Amino acid sequence: MKDVLKQLARDLKAEKLRTFLTIFGIVWGTVAISLMLAFGTGLHTQLIKSTAGLGDRIVIAWPGLTSIPFEGLGKGRKIRITDDDLTTARGNVPGLKALSAEYSNNLKVEYGTKTLSVDTSGVAPEFGSMRNLIPQAGGRFIDDIDLAEQRRTAFIGNKLAKDIFGETPAVGKTITVNQSPFLVVGVLVEKDQDSSYSGRDNEKMFIPSTTFRALNGDKYVDNFVFQAAASTDTKAVIEKLRSALGGRLRFDAKDKEALSMWDTTEQFQFFDTFMLAFNAFLGIIGVLTLVVGGIGVSNIMNVVVEERTREIGIKMALGAKQRWILSQFLFETMLVTFLGGAIGFAISLTVCAIFPKLGLAEYVGNPVVSPLVAALTSLALGLVGLVAGYFPARDAARLDPVVAMKL
Amino acid sequence: MTTQNHIIRMDDIRKTYDTGKVKVDALKGIHLEIEKGEMIAIVGPSGSGKSTLMNLIGCLDTPTSGTYEIGGQAVSGVTRDELAEIRNRRVGFVFQAFNLLPHITALENVELPMLFGGIKPAERHKRASELLERVGLGDRLDHKPTELSGGQMQRVAIARALAMEPDIVLADEPTGNLDSSAGGDIMSIFTDLWQQGRTIVIITHDPALSRRASRVVEIHDGRITSDQATNAAA
Ligand SMILES: Nc1ncnc2c1ncn2[C@@H]1O[C@H](COP(=O)(O)OP(=O)(O)OP(=O)(O)O)[C@@H](O)[C@H]1O
Ligand SMILES: [Mg+2]
């Protein structure tokens, strides 16, 4: 075993250029594949994160002006929706999992010497889970009792919390909102978000919708957010909700302007399809890279066999068994493959470590060399190396020593 | 002549090379027995089958038909690996073209058969140094073949042939690539080895060399046409 390795080191040293070329080929293949997949994973994670920042397969709806005459009523009429309308409509639409009204305004927040104008939403408890507004440890979102009793409680964005309280804990503190004291019950965990419909959640404040209405005298919702029990039913739920509200508020269910909706599940579907296509693309490129690399390695090994045919003949004449010749070639290929793979991974990891510093993460995410990708790539390369090494090695060991020595 | 003394026993050995288009009958029924301690010169014109016979004796190749025993062991129906083992333990080769490995030192070249024979590293090193010393290359252990003269390379090859203490040493025109002075030196080494009791078979075109052998076998067109003992004494 030690002799085999010693011989190996000697042969590799004697064939510097060839060894370099082979290792370079494998390094290139490994870097290409693991970086491609790493960036793919990073992009996927980023897409999920930014979409999840918006919400968990939700639909956001805004009342607007009618654009189609309905039952003798002209167009251009303003549609106004109340909590009652929503509660009634909800009862008529099966398959609806959650629904929350949203009232919005800029409110004056005071704490100590600080005064800020804060984008505030009055919402129901369900809003929190629909919009992925997850509280940091020790806090909570608005709950049913807050809503029922019109409590003056507030859930605030993490950036807002920092602006007001600095590094000291926010939960349990009392802030003044439009001259009324509010208890901070929760702070948002940091989340990636670059799609939104009304400002970033980390700078916002959420209070119970009942409290909001009492504070501001609002009667009509600014918008509302809902979620189907099964995301595949979203289209049907939208239609039912439109006709339920249309019947009650007297607008045409087909009137997209009277009640405009943003179905974020469409975006999910797009991402899912996009990622599927993207992964297929990466997969094909990866397989081709491996195949081309494998052919290269295999060819180089074949050239070696020809160069060394005489040497193999001599060794066999001196009593080397086929197994010896075979294992030397296999070892050589595997060592070269392993070396190339290891260097390739090191390069990929370095790139992934440096990449976040370039500040492009917001657009394409941070590449991650996942353990699965790592395992698969090394497995594939090992296999390529094995196949590439096996056939030339077998050919070499099958040579007739007399013939081989004459070459 | 007892059976135990026969190192080589060939009976009606034939070898046909089938190149696909033509069949060449290189050996057409060879009977040959070689005793321990003999030094045999095989002579004959080019293409008569000398190298073919040598390859069969050395188990580098197998006959098309006939029976062959080396050291009492029948060589028929054995696997390639078993042939390799026979070559390793029983035969030492010296080739016209030296056939040393160019990337490794003289010492490592001599160690090679012992590596395949499973000899321990320390023992390999000791034996290889001793053998190189014996052929007069004690000061060239770490030289690579390219740094040696032809005569020196052939001496490394002889040391390598002796590494596994073989039953028989086979040399195919060992002086063919050397000038007459270097050739004479190599021939003297073989004569010395024979006088120390080794069994040696040498193919040669040189009548001066064949006169040094104890027995001369002549081959013409795949057949032995003459097999005579000489006056040379061990
Ligand atoms: N591998 C082979 N394939 C086909 N024919 C071969 C092969 N090796 C030898 N021969 C043929 O067998 C015959 C004997 O060849 P061999 O090499 O034994 O001759 P030789 O006596 O050693 O000649 P030389 O003195 O020139 O070395 C020749 O006709 C040769 O062409
Ligand atoms: Mg010949």
**CA B208 to each of CA B53, B179, B183: distance values in angstroms, whole numbers, following the listed order:** 22, 14, 11
DSSP string, B169-224: EEEESTTTTS-HHHHHHHHHHHHHHHHTT--EEEE-S-HHHHTTSSEEEEEETTEE
Residue range A225-238, pLDDT digits in tens:
999 988 788 889 99
Residue A193 pLDDT > 70, yes or no? no
Taking the CA atoms of A30, A32, A35 and A38 in sequence, report the sign of the dihedral they define.
negative
How confident is the model at residue B2, as a pLDDT? 45
For residue A269, what are the CA distances in angstroms to A48, A261, A276, A387?
11, 16, 10, 40
- Which of B13, B14, B17 is the pocket-test mutation for ligand 1 (most atoms within 8 Å of CB)? B17
Chain Cα centroid distance, residue B42: 11
Mean pLDDT of the residues in chain B: 92
| C-beta of residue A131 within 8 angstroms of C-beta of residue A223 | no
B74 compared with A390, residue with greater pLDDT: B74
State mean pLDDT over A144-173. 93
Q: From B48, B170, B218, B219, give the residue whose CB has the most ligand 1 atoms within 8 Å, as the site to mutate.
A: B48
Q: Greater confidence, A284 or A307?
A: A284
At A103, give phi and psi (nearest 5°).
-110, 135
Mean pLDDT on A76-90: 91
Q: Is the pLDDT of residue B1 over 50?
A: no
Indicate whether B234 pLDDT > 60: no
Mean pLDDT of chain A: 84
Is residue A169 scored above 70 in pLDDT? yes
Mean pLDDT on B7-15: 95
Task: Residue window 22-81, chain B: list those with CB within 8 Å of chain A.
Answer: 55, 58, 60-61, 80-81
**Best-predicted range by mean pLDDT among A199-208, A372-381, B149-158?**
B149-158
Higher-confidence position of A252 and A51: A252
pLDDT per residue as tens digits for the range A258-268: 999 988 888 77
Q: Would the CB atoms of B84 and A405 count as touching at under 8 Å?
A: no
For the cut 90, the answer to whether the pLDDT of residue A361 exceeds it is no
3-class DSSP string for A183-251 = EEEEEECCCCCCCCCCCCHHHCEEEEHHHHHHHHCCCCCCEEEEEECCHHHHHHHHHHHHHHHHHHHCC
Query: In angstroms, what CA-CA distances link B52 with A62, B35, B48, B177?
Result: 97, 20, 9, 19
d(CA A265, CA A229): 13
User: A18 CB contacts (<8 Å, ≥6 apart)?
Assistant: A300, A303, A304
pLDDT of residue A181: 95
- The partner residue sitting opposite B60, judged by closest CB among A310, A324, A402, is A402
Higher pLDDT, B224 or A30: B224
pLDDT band at A371 (very low <50, low <70, confident <90, very high): low
Residue from A193, A198, A265, A231 nearest A47 by CA:
A193
